[in-house]
Amino acid sequence: MNSAADIVFDEATKTYPGSVRPALDALSLTVPAGEICVLLGSSGCGKTTALTLVNRLTELTGGDIRIDGTSIREQDVIALRRGIGYVIQQAGLFPHLTIAQNIATVPQVLGWPKPRIEDRVRELLELVGLPHGEYGDRYPAQLSGGQQQRVGIARALAADPPIMLMDEPFGALDPVTREHMQDEFLRLHAQVRKTTLFVSHDIDEAVRMGDRIAVLAEGGKLLQYDTPERILHAPADDYVARFVGTDRGLKALTLRRLSDLTLEPYAGGANGTALRADDSLRTALSALLAAGADRLPVTDADGHPVGTVTVDLIREAA
Amino acid sequence: MHTFLDCFAFMAGHFGLLLDRTIDHLLLSAAAVALALVLALPLGVWLGHRGRGSFLTVSVSNIGRALPSLALIAIFLGLLGIGFVNVMTALVVMAVPPALTHAYLSVEQIDRDVVRAARGMGLTERQILTRIELPLALPVLFTGIRIAAVYVISSATLAAVAGGGGLGDIILNQVSYGLSGVIAAALWVAALALAADALFGMLGTRIARGRYGGGR
């Protein structure tokens, strides 16, 4: 269990006491090591149940879940949880502890030597963009929502667990901060490659974050488990199609960037309206419509022209 | 008015007696509060940690509030006879409800997300209690102790009815000490209760200070 591990749900079932119908109904899927799997669905579809089954905050009533081939039933529950990073919606930071102490919690209970804990806290705060000198000694209430959630993520990464469970981690943030945090997490994930289960009810977030998306329906039934492209282009049934939305054609455009296209040669163009090569096709289409133009120039990050995008090019790519 | 002013002369003249009775009074109160806390705090904190028992704690607290202390001592007179045990029992019964209710609430009111995060990270139940819940519970817990202490100090006056001593000995014995003595001792008790309230209030503020880094 070092840098990443795969997670296998094998007919995983949960029926809560006093309930006839299962909250999660024989879920079978495999999350390959190092990937992000988004559990997507409306409320009451069992996605949070599926998540908390993995760290046994909820106990299975049927089937099995294996991490790196080992059943979670066979592991000591405390040891299991210490090997899994857990991030929840409101961050759940300990209000009476400083940021540094919050992050140090799991290393402390694992009995790491002090200097190692200090180094790790410093490293993690750096990683999430909150310099230790400025933020280490503050209390959670002194941070913004987005900053708190960064600390929540740093805390979850503290003992370098191979797995991350994230339960709507950005759900309480405003849209701008939210998008920013999504990008930040993707950047972070590219560095640490933890196998990540990510609960969301937001198709846009799922498409953005997921290497794969598991669409769940009421009663905890898995409708489709696929890549974002496949979910958008070939929804398994009407329910998935409706959940994905009538604008799934547009959403699919967010998955591709201008740099993926073979652009037409650069031919000058309107000032200030130039697109960037790392803009998504959706952004490009929106800009084309807004400008009322058939074609717009594209530049690289430094502003050097790299080509021209046209409405036809986008239509062909979609 | 004359009698009222006389009470200060009484205080000056019988300072040794008042001090003596005050020490009795405080010892009795401290013993009762300590015993009540030993009984109520672990139970309340444990119930709060488990998130159950609100019915029990609310009932105990309501019954406690409805029971007049004098009646309680009278009841125990019948059961336990005259003396220290009777008075202690009555005072403990008075102190338990506020201590228990606050102990329960102090833990139960903690943000459930915080506890959930702690559990999900792999803290043992004991670590959750000692590292997370108790530190966060302390201010409310302290309020419970404060209320119990003030309650017992003022009620301990009635101990004299059952031969328990304390400042009540003077208050209930106008024949020996005169009206000025009664008023003097009564003022004394009031001052003690206020002092205890202020003291525990100060300790509570000190405990809460520096935490959380401001409001949330």
Instruction: Measure the CA–CA gap between A304 and B7, rounded to whole angstroms.
Output: 95
CATH at residue A276: 3.10.580.10
A78 → chain B, closest CA residue: B122
SS3 of chain A: helix, strand, coil, percent, to 5: 40, 25, 35
pLDDT, residue B182, reads: 85
The larger pLDDT score, comparing residue A144 to residue A249, is at A144
Over the stretch A121-130, which tens digit does the pLDDT of each residue have? 999 999 888 9
Q: Which residues in chain A have Cβ-Cβ distances shorter than 8 Å to B121?
A: 81-82, 86, 105-106, 155-156
Chain B interface test: which of A86, A144, A166 (most B C-beta within 10 Å) = A86
Same domain, A286 and A265: yes
Distances (CA, A) of A139 to A159, B152, B182: 21, 38, 53
Whether the Cβ atoms of residue B120 and residue A48 lie closer than 8 Å to each other = no
Per-residue pLDDT in tens (0 to 9) along chain B, 216 residues:
566 778 888 888 888 888 888 888 889 899 999 999 999 999 999 998 887 777 777 777 777 767 776 677 677 777 767 777 778 888 888 889 889 999 999 999 999 899 999 999 999 999 999 999 999 998 899 899 999 999 888 888 877 777 767 888 888 888 888 888 888 888 888 999 999 999 988 888 887 665 554 443
**What is the pLDDT confidence band of residue A1, given thresholds at 50, 70 and 90?**
very low
**What is the pLDDT confidence band of residue A26, given thresholds at 50, 70 and 90?**
very high
Place of tokens 């997370």: B132
Asked if A1 reaches chain B (Cβ–Cβ under 8 Å), the answer is no
Instruction: Number of A to B CB contacts under 8 A, please give it.
Output: 83
pLDDT, residue A48, reads: 93
Same domain, A238 and A125: yes
Residue-number span of the structural domain to which A139 is assigned: 7-247
Over the stretch A198-241, which tens digit does the pLDDT of each residue have? 999 999 899 999 999 999 998 899 999 999 989 988 888 888 88
Which of A215, A247, A279 finishes a domain? A247
pLDDT, residue B211, reads: 54
Is A1 a member of any domain?
no
Which fold would CATH assign to domain B2-208? MetI-like fold (1.10.3720)
Q: Which of these, A94, A38, A15, lies nearest to A212 by C-alpha position? A: A38
Tell me what the mean pLDDT of segment A301-311 comes to. 85
Is A58 a member of any domain?
yes
CATH at residue A47: 3.40.50.300
Q: Which of these, A255, A216, A214, lies nearest to A233 by C-alpha position? A: A255
Is A160 a member of any domain?
yes
A96 → chain B, closest CA residue: B212
pLDDT, residue A58, reads: 94
pLDDT, residue B209, reads: 63
Percent share of chain A, pLDDT over 70: 97
Identify which of A82, A86, A141 has the shortest CB distance to residue B117: A86
Q: What is the ipTM of this complex?
A: 0.81
N-to-C CA span, chain A: 40
pLDDT, residue B207, reads: 75
The tally of domains found in chain A comes to 2
Identify which of A86, A138, A140 has the shortest CB distance to residue B120: A86
Same domain, A237 and A145: yes
Please tell me the distance in Å from B98's CA to the nearest CA on chain A: 25
**What is the pLDDT confidence band of residue A139, given thresholds at 50, 70 and 90?**
very high
From chain B, which residues contact A within 8 Å (Cβ)?
Answer: 111, 113-114, 116-124, 127, 131-132, 135-136, 211-216
Instruction: Measure the CA–CA gap between A302 and B1, rounded to whole angstroms.
Output: 92
Pair of tokens at residue A1: 């269990």
Place of tokens 């519970």: B137
Instruction: Measure the CA–CA gap between B41 and B32, rounded to whole angstroms.
Output: 14
Is A311 a member of any domain?
yes
* CA angle, A132 then B117 then B109, to 5°: 110
Q: At what angle do helices A145-157 and A175-192 cross, to 10 degrees?
A: 20
Q: Could you say which DSSP state residue B133 is in?
A: I
pLDDT, residue B214, reads: 43
Tell me what the mean pLDDT of segment A104-118 comes to. 95
Over the stretch A79-88, which tens digit does the pLDDT of each residue have? 999 999 999 9
Instruction: Measure the CA–CA gap between A153 and A146, rounded to whole angstroms.
Output: 11
Identify which of B121, B127, B214 has the shortest CB distance to residue A86: B121
Pair of tokens at residue B64: 């406690």
Q: Where are the alpha helices (DSSP H) in chain A?
A: 47-54, 77-82, 99-109, 114-127, 132-135, 145-157, 175-192, 203-209, 228-233, 238-244, 248-254, 281-291, 311-317
Phi, psi (deg, nearest 5) at residue A138 = -80, 165
Tell me what the mean pLDDT of segment A56-64 comes to. 94
